Every structure is written in structure tokens, then in C-alpha cells.
Structure 1
Amino acid sequence: MTGDHARNGVLMAIAAQVSVQMGMAVAVSLIDRIGSDGTAWLRLAWAGVLLLVVVRPRPSAFTWRTFGMCVVLGCVTAAISLLFMASLDRIALGTATALEFLGPLAVAVVHGKGRHRLLWPGLAAIGVVLLCQPFDGGIDPKGAMLAIAAGVCWAIYILLTQRVGDEVSGVNGLAVSMPVAAVVSSFFVSTAVFGKMTPELLLIGLGMAVLLPVLPYVLELLALRRLTTAAFGTLMSLEPAFALVVGFLLLDQEPGVAGVLGIAAVVAAGIGAARGGGREMAVPLEVG
């Protein structure tokens, strides 16, 4: 991992994260129009259609067992998206992303190595306290719990993806799990959402799905061919920081000094866990 090869991998990984957060910024702008459930459904629906059309998964790529695992993965993906979008209706993008990030951080710590890996949960806990400011009523508690619940589902997603990735080509698995997520999410959408669909909203939803997950998935796949696991995990640990910047620049969300310090603590914990060898796979791009 040297020279231009590594530098290109870094740029691709960063571009993937920027695309993810831009997609989430578009999602936040839609919540007031069609609700958090409608926004989650619209993105998942378009992403499912795009992946089915582009990938066209072959039945021969699956066994009944692996296909069932992909279906379960799709259900978990739907839960992550619905919970996270609901949290964005109550708290800032950077804060929600940092709280959700506790899920994959926990997986990284559990699978990590070295004596210092227990340091990272403590650092992350400090970050959470700074973000939530429980003694001052700093953020909406329901929004915080929704983001943390999304993080729990994210941790489950990582473990499931590791199993699926051992037996199914990644693109084929994604092309099944994403349409399943779209179908599952449709059961949790208010019927009023479907009546609000206009050509403009459908077009915005298409753009949102391209930003997340289609474009980041391609960029991340290319980056993984150029970077070590530890280096890639470190870059992905910067996700909450990118969310903070995008939220500030595009959504006028000001986290305050405590919020900035909290996100910095979560990012540092993620980097530490990744360098410890625990972060063995990419951030799930279906979630953002």
C-alpha cells in the first residue's frame, strides 16, 4: 500500500463517505415533506430497484440457506434506515451519526486485539455524554435512543454481512437484501405518503439512492482493493466527522463546543479500535 495506489484508495474512501453524507442531507430535507418513514422507504425502494436492474442476481448464486440470510439482512437494513431516519427528525445529523456509530464500534472492540482496546469504549462513552448532555437536557432523548437503536441494528448487520460475504458474492447479496428492505419498510409507512408522491419527489428519491448506496458502494469496493483493512477502517471511522461538516454546511446544524468534542471522542475511539485490528469490514453503505 504505497504511492499513488494508496493515495487513490484514500480519495475513493473519502469520496464514498462524502457521498453517503450528501445522501443523508437530501434525506433530512425530505423529512418535513413525507416524514421520516416515507423518506426511508423512498430511498430503499429506489436503491432496491436500481440494484435489481443493474446486478440482476442469479438464483444459482444462492442456496436456500444463503438466500434466507440475505432476506434477514434486508429486514435488518430496513430497521436501521427507519430508526436512523426517525432520529434525524429529532436530532442533528452529526450527533445521530456519532450515536449510531457506537454499534460498529462495539463490534470492533469485541473483535479487537491488544491491551488498549478497552480504552475505546470509555472514550466513546465520554463522547456520548458530551453529545447527549443528559444533565442539561441537551438533545431530544427519544432521538438519541432511536440513533442508538439503529447502531445496535448496525452491529447485527455487520455480523450478518460477514456471514453472507463468506458464501455469496457481495453484489448479489446486496441485490437481494436491498429489495427486501424496501418491501419490509413499506409496511411501516403511512398510507398518506404514497398519495404525496410527485414526479419531483420521485426524482429526488432517485438521486438520494444514487448517492446512497449505489455510488459509495462502487467507490468503497475500489478503495478496499488499494488499502489495508486497518487503514480502511480508520478512514471509515471519520464518518461522524463528515456528518458534522455536512450538517453544518448544508443543514445549518450547529453542534456547539460540547457536540464537537463529543463527536471527536467517538471518532478517536473508532480510529483506535480500527487500528487495533477489530474493524474487519466496511461501513454498511445501505445505512449511511
Structure 2
Amino acid sequence: MYVGAALAVGLFDRVAPAAVAELRLIGAVLVLLAWHRPGRAAWRGVRLARAALFGLATALMNVAYYEAIARLPLGTTVAIEFVGPVLVAAVASRRFRDFGAVGLAALGVLLIADVRWAGSPEGVLWALGAAAMWAAYVLLGKRVASAGSGIDDLATGFTVAAVVLLPLLLLGGPDAPAAFALANLAPLADPGVIALSVGLGVLSSVVPYVLDQVVLRRVGQARFAVLLALLPATATIVGLVLLAQLPGALEAVGILLVVAAVALRSKDGDEPVPDALPVAGPAGEPPRR
């Protein structure tokens, strides 16, 4: 995911961050539909509405995230937006240690924000917006996964979101004409931009989100949020290696506090994970494990 994000940063000087997020979404849709075509039932009724909400939440999370990493280091952005999953994890139970986890996360984010607010308050606000959408992604993603057709609904939801957010392609880069100008579509004809967009779709959307659906079917949303604990550290390492972004002392402490907050969160409130799939018994008998 964050190798893809590092590649996306290289496009920001030609295409607006929000437009890059839309290109990534379109690339993911093309790959998903070519790989796993949903049946007619996936495009109707409550199922489509649920998938569309999930797709829009995911797309808006990525738009806010790209706008944030255009202004903040990669690891810093992920640590700030990580407050969303931390809150989802903490709300699932009422133990004292869970409130402590929220406190640690809040302190970590405050340390990071205090360092970055003077330089880029917009970046901090975009990262907090991504945090809210990340929380929605976890909650809605669990519902989609529990329905038993996660990959199909991933494809339909992303398709709806890609169509709704098509106007974002009219946003230009730093040297482009005013917002929503047709001239801003010129870079999209570049084969390199198109190839990177498909690559972003695979690296940052198809692979991680399909794996998320697999994991969410087996664990509760709170436990899933806990399993995301490695992401701020991973993003910091990728930012350091690929983008030469070295966090300051306070930022590093803030990132570590966010990771510690997720590690502290108890398993109380998590859904039990079955040891095995149910096996049908003889006629007239219930399934056995």
C-alpha cells in the first residue's frame, strides 16, 4: 500500500492529489472487473447500496489521504489518520486499558500535529478527514465482508465511487489552469500516467483491500483495527527509504505512541474466530465443526 503511495507522490507535480486518487480508483475498478465480474444480483437493491457506501467511504478516505501526503510526510499522515481505527477498536469494549489506548493515541496525534500544524495545518486537517473515513471503511467493510461476497461488492462499490468522483479528474496539478478546467485532462493522455494509475490501483487498492475482505470475514472489526498497528511504522519506513522523509524526534515519539495505543487495546468485544468451517452432518442433523 505505501510503496504505491510513494509512487503516487511522484505524480503530484503533474496531477492534483485528488485526481491521482480517482485515477487509482479507476485502475482498481478495471482490474477488479476484469478479474472478478459481479453477477446481476450485485448491481441491485440493498446490496448495491451497501457496496456503494463502502466504495464512497474508501474513495473519500484515499482522496483525503493523498491530499494529506502531498503536504505531510507519509508516516506522519498515517499516524494521524490512524486515530480512526483506534477509536473503532476502543469503542468495542469498556475496559480501562481501552480508554488508556485512546489516550495514548490522542497524545501521539497531538505530538505530531503540534509539530506539523505551523507548517501545514491543511495537511493535518486532511489527515484527520482521512481518519474519519478510515473508521467508516472498517465499519462498512465488516458489513460487506460478513455478507459473504466481499470481492464482488468491492468491484461494484468501487465502480459507483469512480463514476461519482469523475469530476476530480478535472483538477490540475500545481502549474495547471484553474480547478475543473478541461485543459487539466492533458496529462491523462500520457501512457506513463496511465500505467502508473493501473499500478497504483493494483498496489494500493486491489491487493490490500481484497486481503482486508479475507481478514474481515474471519475476525471482528475491533480485532481488525488492532491488526492495523503496523501501518504507521510501515509507512514511516517506506517514506524514509523511498522518499527520504526522516521524522523529527517528537513525530517519531508520536508515531510510536499511536502504535502502542493499538497494541494496548484489549481483545474484549472481538468476535470469536471459528477454528474450522462448519461441515454438513448426516441428513436431519445440524452442521458440525
Name the CA distance, whole Å, in 1 between partners of 2:217 and 2:156.
24
Aligned twin of 2:124: 144
- Write the distance in 1 (CA, Å) between the matches of 2:248 and 2:71: 16
Which among 132, 135, 139 is matched to residue 159 of structure 1?
139
Distance in 2 separating the partners of 1:279 and 1:28 = 36
Contact 1:233–1:279 (CA under 8 A) maintained in structure 2: no
> How many Å separate the matches in 1 of 2:35 and 2:127?
31
| Alignment of 1:245 onto 2:237 | yes
Aligned residue number for residue 269 of structure 1: 261
Q: Tell whether 2:175 aligns with 1:194.
A: no
Structure 2: distance between partners of 1:221 and 1:168: 9
Per the alignment, residue 51 of structure 2 pairs with: 70
Structure 1 equivalent of residue 200 of structure 2: 208
Deviation at 1:181, TM superposition (A): 2.0
Q: 2:81 aligns with which of 100, 103, 111?
A: 100
Which of 62-71 and 211-220 deviates more?
211-220
Specify the code of the residue in structure 2 equivalent to 1:122.
G
TM-score normalized with structure 1 length = 0.81
- Do residues 173 (structure 1) and 153 (structure 2) align? yes
3-state SS of the aligned residue for 2:246? coil
Q: Could you tell which deviates more after superposition, 252-261 or 113-122?
A: 113-122
Equivalent residue for 2:66, pick from 59, 70, 85: 85
**CA separation in 2, counterparts of 1:131 and 1:183?**
35
How many residue pairs are counted as aligned between the two chains? 260
Does the 8 Å contact 1:38/1:193 carry over to 2? Answer: no
In the alignment, the residues of structure 2 paired with residue 71 and residue 229 of structure 1 have an alpha-carbon distance, to the nearest angstrom, of: 19
User: Match for residue 118 of structure 1?
Assistant: 99
1:85 maps to amino acid:
Y
Q: Contact conserved, 2:92 with 2:222, CA < 8 A, in 1?
A: no
Q: Do residues 51 (structure 1) and 32 (structure 2) align? A: yes
Contact 1:132 1:139 (C-alpha < 8 Å) held by counterparts: no
CA distance in 2, matches of 1:74, 1:227: 21
User: Residues 63, 227 of structure 1: CA spacing in aligned structure 2 closer, same or farther, 3 A cutoff?
Assistant: closer
**TM-score, length-scaled by structure 2:** 0.81
CA distance in 2, matches of 1:30, 1:42: 11
Instruction: Give the 3 Å change call, closer, same or farther, for CA 137–96 of structure 1 in structure 2.
Output: closer
Residue 57 of structure 1: CA displacement? 0.5
Change (3 A) 1:108 1:235: closer
Whole-Å Cα distance in 2 between the matches of residues 200 and 51 of structure 1? 21
* Alignment match, 2:282: none
Contact 1:114/1:276, CA 8 A, preserved across alignment: no
Residues 132-153 of structure 1: CA deviation (Å, up to 9, x unaligned): 126x855411100111011111
Secondary structure (helix, strand or coil) at the match of 2:168 reads: coil
Report the identity percentage.
36
Q: Which has the higher contact order (CA 8 A, sep 6+)?
A: 1
* Residue segments in structure 2 that go unaligned for 5+ positions in a row: 172-181, 272-289
1:236-259 CA-partner distances (Å, limit 9, x unpaired): 211011000100110011111111
1:8 matched residue in structure 2: none
SS of the residue 1:128 aligns to: helix
Name the CA distance, whole Å, in 1 between partners of 2:247 and 2:225.
25
- Of 259-268 and 105-114, the range deviating more from structure 2: 105-114
Q: Which has the larger radius of gyration?
A: 2
Shift of 1:161: 2.0
Q: CA deviation at 1:62?
A: 6.1
Amino acid at match of 2:138: I
Q: CA deviation at 1:61?
A: 4.4
- RMSD over aligned Cα, in angstroms? 2.6
Point out the more displaced range, 96-105 or 65-74.
Answer: 65-74
Deviation, structure 1 residue 104: 1.2
